[in-house]
Amino acid sequence: MLTAFAAAPPTAGAALPMPSAEPGMTVSFVAGNQHQGPPTPGPATSSHLFQPADIAFDPAGNLYVADPENCVVEKVTPAGQLSVFVGSTAGCTPRNGVDKYGSLTWWEGNLYIGGSLGYIYRADANGNLTVVAGSGGQGVPGTGPALSQQFTLPMQMTSYAGGIYFGDKGASKVVKLDPVAGQVTVIGGDGGTGTQAQVGLPATQVSIVNPADVAIGKDGSVFVADNDTGTILRIGTDGLIKDTFFHPMPFGLGFDPTGSTLYAASGYGTISRVDTTTGAFTVVAGMPLPKSAREQAGLARQPLTIEVKAGPALETMLGFPFGLEVAANGEIYSSLAMSALVIKLTKAAVPPPPFTGPDTPVVTAAPSVSPSVAPSVSPSAVPTSAAPSVVPSVVPTTPGPVVTSPAPDPANPPQINLNLQLAVDAPLTGARATVSGGGLQPSSPYTLTMYSTPVEVARGTTNAAGAFNAVITMPAKACVRGGAHRLVLTGTAPGGAKLEDSSYVVLDDTCKAKSINNVTAPVNNTVTLQSFTFPRLSAKLRPKAQRTLRDLRGALTSAKAITITGYTETDSKGKAATRANKRLALKRADAVRAHLRKMGITVPISTVGAGGVNGLGQGQKFNRRVVIVVRY
């Protein structure tokens, strides 16, 4: 059972405290029956949902549920009755032009809704919609008139004095919408250029890759969950980054009614209370989602096969908590996207029995001949005994005695989880990896190793309950040569079988990540390695592009095949223009191939002149590009 994660400002090499779990919450069901399908008016817990996303309350206590794959917004009354408030399940396909409503919030007497077609709507009391922002189509929002903006994929919304706040996933921006003034203001994100968020920088000049949700503190600070980088950012009222906190795969954020206590929903299956001063967080509900279930949710987009159980909140899996809202009475509501369920967390009437044994290990630093060692992690507030430790793998150790293991517990199946928190173009050194496991052999070793050049990054032992939980800061020794690599966490099941979980990363020669996948290996071992732009009507490589290619030498040399695709601007029409665009696009791809040959890259290289297609929607200069794809 996962009881806690660690959290700290992202400082490489800093000690990360082990967090604690807090029993005392109870799970109950609000809507859905854990089966995907169209909604049925009537008792909410008897109705199907499909993939519930954002949720919001009105002042009367009615709960609204965005159900994008059903193309509806459902309304659940305080008496537990469900009805369809907006939309219809009929013809719910993108090709029919039907909007998929995925985000919503209540503001100034109305429900506001964001959809997949690039519009933000205001709903009246009868569910009739009026467009208040968006001009249609997908694009990157800027600061200006709301009805002139384009949005790519509005994520979960929140309201505060002066307007509505939300992130746009596809545009990598955070915006504020003032429906009264009819204005949109960009308050965070530079479009995803890779500039790492640092305290003191303007929020509009840093990369916020996937702003999944936004919450507003009582002082007006804007908290942003960046799902891709595993970070919660705090933007001050002056527009500067004030804090960056590590959090594993954050999706939903919500403050309590006082605006002082923040809760976060993690894609790894937990809901936590977050300290907004230090970033430390305490799990109040959920257990870790096994790797097989993560693959199912992330790739197949199918309902999870796990069962969410009503009762003690730390004794059930939640699957994939997505939306999060705290009601006026302090109860916590969450949509479980892949379990077709909305749940409520309440304080248990009867306190649970006291904690009597160790649950998580203590990660400690040890002397090393290498300056880059696994970080020390101080113990949590939960009492432990005979706590295991993680040490850097520099000095060999003598194996301990063989442990006699109990038979596997079907209610606590062996599992092991690795999550590498790393953004594209960010350095591997200093990145954080969350490692956890449960149901394993007591006092058995686990290791974190970087392949293909084997480098053991860290190791430790499970506690007496066969569990472990730690956050490792990646040391410099993990920076092996450029190319495709696999970071592997291994552990031992009670029967002696080996378990492993992997993250896949492609590094350039400066140890910066060019591709990351925490779920499965890249399809056909193929990844998009790099793209860069050309001058208008030119096929000449810029000096910056040449430097980028030099940094990619190792990643390119180790590939089995390389495909370079050239593109041009998309505004030219007609057959003659199409032919000219394809010729120019091929010249650009050929120019890159010629430069790689000059660098001594002998891998088979194919070039494609795609022409004026697949526009990025960020301005024509970004369409004058080549994209390098490699197969390992």
What secondary structure does DSSP assign to 589-601, as a single string? Answer: HHHHHHHHHHTT-
Sign of CA dihedral 91, 96, 98, 102: positive
What secondary structure does DSSP assign to 64-91, as a single string? Answer: EEEEGGGTEEEEE-TTSEEEEEEE-STT
436 alpha carbon, distance to own chain's centre: 18
Residue type, 429: T
CA distance 235 to 188: 8
**Percent of the chain surpassing pLDDT 90:** 47
Q: List beta partners, residue 326.
A: 332
CATH number given to 25-347: 2.120.10.30
Residue 325: which of 532, 158, 562 has the closest Cα?
158
What secondary structure does DSSP assign to 238-307, as a single string? Answer: TSBEEEEEE-SSEEEEEE-TTS--EEEEETTTEEEEE-TTT--EEEEEE-PPPHHHHHIIIII----SS-
151 alpha carbon, distance to own chain's centre: 20
CA distance 625 to 532: 5
In sequence order, the 6+-apart residues with CB closer than 8 A to the CB of 458 are 363, 374, 390, 391, 392, 393, 435, 447, 448, 470, 472
Phi and psi torsions of 160, nearest 5°: -155, 170
Tell me what pLDDT residue 108 has: 93
List Cβ<8 Å contacts ≥24 apart for 187-195. Answer: 187/222, 187/235, 187/239, 188/222, 188/224, 188/233, 188/235, 191/140, 191/618, 194/423, 194/424, 194/425, 194/426
- Judged by DSSP in three states, 486 sits in strand
Full-model pTM = 0.64
Sign of CA dihedral 67, 70, 71, 74: negative
Asked if 377 contacts 399 with a C-beta cutoff of 8 angstroms, the reply is no
What is the side-by-side order of every strand in the sheet holding 561-567?
Answer: 526-533, 625-631, 561-567, 605-611
Residue 319: which of 344, 288, 291, 342 has the closest Cα?
288
Asked if 319 contacts 272 with a C-beta cutoff of 8 angstroms, the reply is no
Residue 311: which of 24, 2, 3, 27 has the closest Cα?
27
Tell me what pLDDT residue 31 has: 98
Per-residue pLDDT tens over the stretch 257-296 = 888 899 999 988 899 999 998 888 889 999 877 766 666 5
CA distance 449 to 393: 10
Q: Domain residues of the chain, as ranges?
A: 25-347, 415-521, 525-631
What is the side-by-side order of every strand in the sheet holding 129-133?
Answer: 101-107, 110-115, 120-123, 129-133
What secondary structure does DSSP assign to 305-330, as a single string? Answer: SS---SEEGGGS----EEEEEE-TTS
Tell me what pLDDT residue 103 has: 96
Asked if 366 contacts 38 with a C-beta cutoff of 8 angstroms, the reply is no
Count Cβ atoms below 10 Å from residue 323 Cβ, excluding itself: 28
Tell me what pLDDT residue 291 has: 64
> Which parts of the chain sit beneath pLDDT 50?
1-19, 299-300, 350-411
CA distance 415 to 440: 7
Per-residue pLDDT tens over the stretch 588-611 = 999 999 999 999 999 999 999 999
In sequence order, the 6+-apart residues with CB closer than 8 A to the CB of 79 are none
Task: Domain 415-521: state its class.
Answer: mainly beta
Per-residue pLDDT tens over the stretch 459-474 = 889 888 788 877 788 8
Count Cβ atoms below 10 Å from residue 75 Cβ, excluding itself: 21
CATH number given to 525-631: 3.30.1330.60
Phi and psi torsions of 595, nearest 5°: -70, -40
- Judged by DSSP in three states, 5 sits in coil
Asked if 331 contacts 344 with a C-beta cutoff of 8 angstroms, the reply is yes
